[in-house]
Amino acid sequence: MRYMFDYGKKKGFKSVQLDVLKGNVPAEKLYIKNGFCFVEKNDRVWYEDIGDQVALLYEKNLWQYIPCNDIVLILLRVLYIIIAVDGGV
């Protein structure tokens, strides 16, 4: 990941964004450990090899450290779980 961050900065990118398939907890933990913050849930992301999927978008600012708001992140995850279990979105 360090190479990706260095390359992005060299090219003048402001941030890096990554999609994580719903349920891929190891990937989410890896991204969070490397400074990515949860941005939003995408209900319909199309991948050529597996088709439409639910994905979570994570982003990391390359130029300054912006900590994720842990309380907001926890509340969003709880709300997402409640909605998913309840059969909503």
pLDDT at 31 over 70: yes
How does pLDDT run across 9-18, given as a tens digit for each residue?
Answer: 999 999 999 9
Neighbour tally for 9: CB within 10 Å = 13
How does pLDDT run across 36-63, given as a tens digit for each residue?
Answer: 988 888 888 888 898 898 899 999 989 8
